[in-house]
């Protein structure tokens, strides 16, 4: 029995797989509620895991966690988006002690890439680039069938490639990163500045901007054109660096469908080097469960 967890959002999820490759069945969801700190959540995760396992001991545990983190040691570093959690949190060790099984921890976007590679839109494709466009932009690189980690385990920070050196400041300390130009948060912020109605933006996020653009609002069209152009440029850079057979785009913002994929493909067709222009750019297949599937893969290797 493999235990998979995804701690990468407002809700944490825990799932069990009898064997790798089977479809996801029972999933338990728990609110992350970062304001209460980390340890109450840890105990809830352990209780939910035990309830799912029904007395069985898992052979391995895999965890998709927010970065930055050290995947070799399974330690979460200082998390800019979760300042209430302790710094240098030994998550793998804490879970292994409580669940009695070897535990592997990796970045949530990296594990979503691995999930799509093994069981989703990239099944059977050994060279692929995955981007998730939601409140932020993350991703993962699969090269030769392996997840690329780099020396610190930080590889795949595709959202922090610089697209516009004099652009708006980014949470990472840089400027003009892809994330501050094309994430859902960035699209909403730019739409607000352009004067789109704040109540709809607050309720529906980037989807409201895509809807307004489709209805002919020129302000929304300009915001979407800017964001999709930035995303297209990001994809061009990744094509040139990694030469993947496939680019997979996931995350809530990609629900916009052709309104996002069309302009991204157009930028690639016009700005990528000739050998890269035909690379397929496809929607992710596993939705927000990709991270759990990827966590199951590392649980099997734990």
- Residues lying near Zn ion in the complex (CB under 5 A): 160, 170, 172, 174, 177
Distance of alpha carbon 164 from its chain centroid, rounded?
A: 22
CB of 228 to Zn ion, least distance (A): 19
Residue number, 107 or 279, with CB nearest to Zn ion: 107
* Neighbour order of strands in the sheet with 60-65: 27-31, 11-17, 2-6, 60-65, 103-107
CB of 71 to Zn ion, least distance (A): 20
Residue number, 92 or 238, with CB nearest to Zn ion: 238
CB of 136 to Zn ion, least distance (A): 9
Calpha distance 122→228 (Å, rounded):
22
The strand pair at 11-17 and 27-31 is best described as antiparallel
Considering only CA atoms, which of 88, 93, 80, 83 is closest in space to residue 42? 93
Catalytic option among 108, 199, 217, 243: 108
DSSP state of 89: B
Residue number, 46 or 172, with CB nearest to Zn ion: 172
3-class SS of residue 105 = strand
CB of 160 to Zn ion, least distance (A): 4
Degrees to nearest 5, angle at CA 119 with 69 and 254:
75
Tokens of 164: 């516009």
Calpha distance 20→210 (Å, rounded):
37
Residue number, 170 or 238, with CB nearest to Zn ion: 170
Residue number, 104 or 160, with CB nearest to Zn ion: 160
Calpha distance 31→29 (Å, rounded):
7
108 is catalytic: yes
CB of 187 to Zn ion, least distance (A): 16
Active centre residues (catalytic): 108
């Amino acid at each position: 029995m493999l235990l998979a967890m995804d701690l990468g959002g407002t809700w944490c999820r825990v799932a069990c797989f009898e064997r790798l490759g089977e479809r996801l069945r029972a999933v338990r969801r728990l609110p992350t509620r970062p304001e209460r700190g980390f340890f109450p959540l840890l105990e809830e995760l352990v209780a939910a895991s035990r309830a799912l396992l029904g007395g069985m001991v898992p052979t391995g545990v895999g965890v998709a966690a927010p970065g930055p983190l050290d995947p070799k040691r399974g330690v979460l570093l200082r998390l800019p988006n979760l300042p209430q959690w302790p710094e240098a949190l030994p998550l793998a060790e804490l879970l292994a002690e409580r669940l009695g099984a070897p535990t592997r921890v990796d970045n949530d976007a990296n594990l979503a890439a691995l999930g799509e590679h093994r069981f989703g839109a990239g099944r059977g494709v050994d060279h692929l680039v995955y981007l998730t466009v939601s409140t932020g932009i993350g991703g993962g690189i699969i090269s030769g069938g392996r997840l690329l980690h780099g020396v610190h385990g930080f590889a795949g920070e595709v959202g922090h490639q610089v697209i516009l050196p004099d652009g708006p400041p980014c949470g990472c300390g840089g400027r003009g990163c892809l994330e501050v130009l094309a994430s859902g948060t960035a699209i909403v912020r730019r739409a607000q500045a352009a004067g789109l109605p704040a109540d709809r933006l607050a309720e529906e996020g980037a989807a409201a901007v895509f809807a307004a653009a489709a209805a002919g609002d020129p302000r929304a069209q300009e915001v979407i054109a800017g964001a999709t152009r930035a995303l297209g440029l990001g994809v061009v850079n990744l094509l040139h660096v990694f030469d993947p057979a496939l680019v997979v785009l996931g995350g809530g913002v990609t629900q916009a469908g052709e309104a996002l994929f069309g302009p991204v493909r157009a930028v690639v067709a016009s700005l990528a080097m000739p050998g890269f222009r035909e690379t397929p750019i496809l929607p992710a297949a596993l939705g927000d469960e990709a991270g759990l599937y990827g966590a199951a893969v590392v649980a099997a290797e734990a």
